[in-house]
Amino acid sequence: MAAGESSGSVVRRILLGSQLRRLRDSRGITREAAGYSIRASESKISRMELGRVSFKARDVEDLLTLYGVTDEVERDSLLGLAREANVAGWWHSFGDVLPGWFQTYIGLEGAASLIRIYEVQFVHGLLQTEGYAHAVVSRGMRGAPAAEIERRVALRLERQKALVAERAPRFHAVLDEAALRRPYGGREVMRDQLRHLIEMSEQPNVTLQVMPFSFGGHAGESGSFTMLRFPESDLSDIVYLEQLTSALYLDKAEEVAQYEKAMVRLHADSPGPEESRNLLRGLLQLT
């Protein structure tokens, strides 16, 4: 199965979950009552409505009956969505090295039509060379078996294929100059990485900007973040904040709006793509 098809399963889980939540709310039914109807807990209903678990056809059928959905066309549509939502993504084969909380992100990333990121610690994973990725993973996983490190690097490289796929998303990256000056893997690795960034910045679907030290304080002061937009009109933008052992997914309109303002400000205040390429070329000469 193509990566784009399987990654869409995550989006379908979220869409189905939001539909079930809307139906439950319209009937004034509590999560506890909904859980009782499918022999599950209130927290299980919450996870279903957030799209964080797979769906059993029987559970969806029982919930639709409880919510008064009798129209066969509507029922078939939602049950079809449940079947599609349970398709395993390509990344499941990396389950031995992939944290559960990150699987959701990979699915969302693969289904997005627009990915916008601000990165301050290191070059974003979608733009890393193999050598740079190996250095980053090795430093972050000190003492890990070599095989595990190689698997994690392979996963990162597999994700990057989306940027050059036939239906590639638009990718807009703002890299803080700190991410470009912090060495990973030695001089040649860094030189290869800088050359790769220059090359990727010339791809038609990629916009790359560098926020220079010389600008001073800026809108990205709260740290790295990612914004994902999807082709499905029913799905709102999502802000992804990665932490050491987990991640936050923000989709409340007021929270997303604050990050949208910060992203727009970063785009406006950073040098444009051509000037940013010149900054990269200057760093390459210094490396």
Other C-beta atoms closer than 10 Å to the C-beta of 284 total: 17
- pTM higher than 0.75, yes or no? yes
Average pLDDT over residues 53-57: 89
Q: What is the mean pLDDT of the chain?
A: 91
In the predicted structure, residue 5 carries a pLDDT above the cut 50: no
Other C-beta atoms closer than 10 Å to the C-beta of 193 total: 26
Beta partners for residue 238, in sequence order: 228
Q: Kindly provide the b/e burial profile for residues 43-78, where b requires at least 16 CB atoms within 10 angstroms of the residue's own CB.
A: ebbbebbbbbeebeeebbbbbbebbebeeeeeeeeb
In the predicted structure, residue 8 carries a pLDDT above the cut 60: no
Q: Reduce the DSSP state of residue 90 to 3 states and report it.
A: helix
Helices (H) and strands (E) in the chain, counts: 12, 6
- How far apart (Å, rounded) are the C-alpha atoms in residues 157 and 101? 19
Lowest mean pLDDT among 37-51, 230-244, 270-284: 230-244
| Res 6: pLDDT | 45
- How far apart (Å, rounded) are the C-alpha atoms in residues 2 and 232? 19
Q: Helices marked H in 217-272 — which ranges?
A: 253-269
Rounded to 10 degrees, the C-alpha dihedral 74/68/86/16 comes to: 80
Banded pLDDT at 104 (limits 50, 70, 90): confident
In the predicted structure, residue 229 carries a pLDDT above the cut 90: yes
pLDDT in tens, 260-287: 999 999 999 999 999 999 999 999 999 8
Show the tokens assigned to 64: 């639709």
Show the tokens assigned to 146: 């070599």
| Res 211: pLDDT | 97
Banded pLDDT at 160 (limits 50, 70, 90): very high
**% pLDDT > 90, the chain:** 70
- How far apart (Å, rounded) are the C-alpha atoms in residues 145 and 81? 40
Banded pLDDT at 207 (limits 50, 70, 90): very high
Closest CA to 282 of 263, 271, 131: 271
